Structure 1
Amino acid sequence: MTDTLSYLDAAAVARLRPRDAVNALVASLRDGLDPSTSTPRTFVPLTHGDYILMPAEHGADTGVKIVTVAPGNREHGLPRIQGLYLLFDAVTLAPRAVLDGIELTALRTPAVSLAGVRQHLLADTSPLHVVAFGAGIQAIRHVTTTADVVDGIREIASVTFVVRDPERADLPAELAGVACDVVQVGSAEADRAVAQAGIVHCATSAREPVFDSALLRDDAIVIAVGSHDPDAREVDEKLVGRARVIVEDRDPALREAGDVVMAIEAGTFDPDDLVTLADVAAEDVHPAGRPVFFKSVGMAWEDLVVAAAVMDADR
Structure 2
Amino acid sequence: MTANDVPPSSLPYVPGPAVRAALTPTQAVDALEAALRSGVDPEHDAPRTRLDTAHGQLLQMPSTAGTDIGTKLLTVSPDNPARDRPLIQGVYVLFGGEEQSPRAVIDGLELTNLRTAAVSALGVRLMGTTAPRHLAVFGTGVQAWEHAVAFADVFTLERITVAGRNRLKAEAMAARIERELGVDADTGGAEAAAEGDAVVCATSATRPFFDGDLVRDDAVVVAMGAHTPDARELDDVLMGRGFVAVESRDSALREAGDVLLAIEAGALRGIEDVATLAELAAGTARRPAGRPGVFVTTGMPWQDLAVAVAVAERAGA
The TM-score with structure 1 as length reference comes to: 0.91
Equivalent residue letter for 2:86: P
Counterpart of 1:274 in structure 2 is 274
1:36 aligns with 2:35: no
1:83 aligns with 2:84: no
Counterpart of 2:237 in structure 1 is 238
Q: Offset of 1:7 from its aligned partner?
A: 0.7
Q: Offset of 1:224 from its aligned partner?
A: 0.7
Counterpart of 2:13 in structure 1 is 7
1:48 aligns with 2:44: no
Cα 1:217/1:299, change in 2 over 3 Å: same
CA contact (8 A) 1:243 1:292 kept: yes
1:222 aligns with 2:221: yes
| d(CA) in 2 for partners of 1:139, 1:168 | 11
Q: Offset of 1:250 from its aligned partner?
A: 0.4
1:100 aligns with 2:101: no
CA contact (8 A) 1:124 1:287 kept: no
Aligned length: 303
CA contact (8 A) 2:124 2:198 kept: no
Q: Offset of 1:12 from its aligned partner?
A: 0.9
Q: Percent same amino acid among aligned pairs?
A: 46
Counterpart of 1:68 in structure 2 is 75
Q: What are the residue-to-residue correspondences of 1:1-315 with 2, within 5 Å? A: 1-2=5-6, 4-15=10-21, 16-121=23-128, 123-124=129-130, 128-150=133-155, 155-169=156-170, 170-171=172-173, 172-174=176-178, 176-183=181-188, 185=189, 190-191=190-191, 193-271=192-270, 272-283=272-283, 288-289=288-289, 290-315=291-316
CA contact (8 A) 2:140 2:169 kept: no
Q: What per-residue deviation string (whole Å, max 9, x for no partner) do you get for residues 3-25 of structure 1?
A: 62111111111120111111111
Equivalent residue letter for 1:43: R
* Secondary structure of 2:161 counterpart: strand
| d(CA) in 2 for partners of 1:46, 1:266 | 35
| d(CA) in 1 for partners of 2:285, 2:15 | 35
| d(CA) in 2 for partners of 1:286, 1:274 | 11
* Secondary structure of 2:104 counterpart: strand
- Between 1:194-203 and 1:285-294, the stretch displaced more is 285-294
CA contact (8 A) 1:209 1:233 kept: yes
Q: Offset of 1:223 from its aligned partner?
A: 0.2
| d(CA) in 1 for partners of 2:161, 2:94 | 37
| d(CA) in 2 for partners of 1:264, 1:301 | 26
| d(CA) in 1 for partners of 2:57, 2:13 | 24
Equivalent residue letter for 2:300: M
Equivalent residue letter for 1:117: V
Q: What per-residue deviation string (whole Å, max 9, x for no partner) do you get for residues 205-243 of structure 1?
A: 000002111111111100011011111100101111111
Equivalent residue letter for 2:303: E
* Secondary structure of 1:228 counterpart: coil
Gaps of 5+ in 2: none
| d(CA) in 2 for partners of 1:208, 1:222 | 16
Q: What per-residue deviation string (whole Å, max 9, x for no partner) do you get for residues 167-220 of structure 1?
A: 14552141642232133x4xxxx41x2212101000100000021111111111
CA contact (8 A) 1:115 1:281 kept: no
CA contact (8 A) 1:63 1:86 kept: yes
* Secondary structure of 2:167 counterpart: coil
CA contact (8 A) 1:8 1:98 kept: yes
| d(CA) in 2 for partners of 1:180, 1:288 | 31
| d(CA) in 1 for partners of 2:207, 2:81 | 26
